[in-house]
Amino acid sequence: MIPTIINTLGALQIGVIFATCLFGVITVQLHHYSQTFEDDRKSFRFLAAAVWILELIHTICICAELYRGTIIFYGRPTEYQRFPLMGGATLLGGLITMLVQIFFCLRVWKALPNPVRYIGAFCGGLTVLRAAGGIYLGVQIVRSQTLQEYRELNNWVISTLLASGAAIDVAIAVSMLFFLVQKREKGLGTVTRLIDRLVAYTIRTGLLTSITAVAVLIVFQTMPETYVWAALYVVLAKLYSNTLYSALNERSRLRQVMVESSQDLDSRGRRPTNHRSGLSDFQSRRQEISIQMKTTVIHDDEEKASPFGHRSGQTLPDTGF
């Protein structure tokens, strides 16, 4: 495809605007998380803050690069060949992706049984290598004199990182779906409702990032002379961050499902005794206690980190979330 102002600076401008909007969504999600989970474990709170800071710097880099292309080099598109600030954005994007993917890899490692849990360890090691590759590409963008030179020298590295990122997302999503489907077959009532929500969430987040990574790879291979692939790439890091905050905030919705289901089961257990069935008060009370016990499940988080606290008597299922 022949490069034009539309598929170069125009495409980059659209990508930066969309990425900036996603940063606004990230900020809102962080605010919701900080207000909802004030007593969450320190590691989660530190991760949420670190990702937001990296995203802030990432947003500044891509906006400054767009300013260079549209203002500083206005009317001189042929001179706009180097992208030093985009190199910084690439480096930061690799770090953000690593933090988010390691978070989900740890969920897989903690939640899944042997030997499936080793998928989390393998993907975690792979995402660290992928982050190292992202740092390398960021340095290469700064050092390259032209974008064409950067593409020709690092074509296989870029393709490998994009493909591996999509593969990691799919592996994490599939392993979690395998585990959740198994749990669903054994669960009743509240547990089934929770798992249905987790299955839908896992599919949405896993597909979103993996499809975007594949789209960047396809556009990079088919339209390398344009900036369309760069526009999609600046959005990718924002999507990863949104999946992280969505995972952290989803626990409040799961808590609400647990509370509603607990109240529903409690009201059923206190219905008047049916004398025609011949049940005594003792048998009815024993049945009520049995129902309440079946709705209590175990999770891998520390007691302090439980979004339910001590008042509800409920905890999340052991899904790693």
- pLDDT on residue 179: 77
Distances 181 to 104, 105, 108, 115, 298 between C-alpha atoms, Å: 18, 18, 14, 17, 17
pLDDT over 50 at 255, yes or no: yes
Q: Percent of the chain having pLDDT more than 90?
A: 39
Highest-pLDDT range among 62-71, 77-86, 275-284:
62-71
Quick: pLDDT tens for 33-58. Answer: 999 888 889 999 999 999 999 999 99
Mean pLDDT value of segment 271-292: 45
Maximum Cα–Cα distance across the chain: 91
Model confidence at 269, in pLDDT bands (50, 70, 90)? low
pLDDT over 80 at 20, yes or no: yes
Coil, strand, or helix at residue 286? helix
Is 257 in contact with 193 (CB distance < 8 Å)?
yes
More confident residue, 292 or 155: 155
More confident residue, 14 or 184: 14
Model confidence at 312, in pLDDT bands (50, 70, 90)? very low
The four Cα atoms 124, 125, 130, 134 give a dihedral, to 10 degrees, of 90
- pLDDT on residue 62: 96
**Exposed / middle / buried, residue 272 (Cβ in 10 Å: 0-12, 13-18, 19+):** exposed
Quick: pLDDT tens for 136-178. Answer: 999 999 898 888 888 888 889 999 998 998 899 888 888 888 7
Model confidence at 295, in pLDDT bands (50, 70, 90)? very low
- pLDDT on residue 314: 44
pLDDT over 80 at 27, yes or no: yes
Least confident of 125-139, 192-206, 297-311: 297-311
Q: Which domains are present in the chain?
A: 6-259 (1.20.1070)
Q: What is the C-alpha to C-alpha distance for residues 28 and 41, in angstroms, rounded to an integer?
A: 20
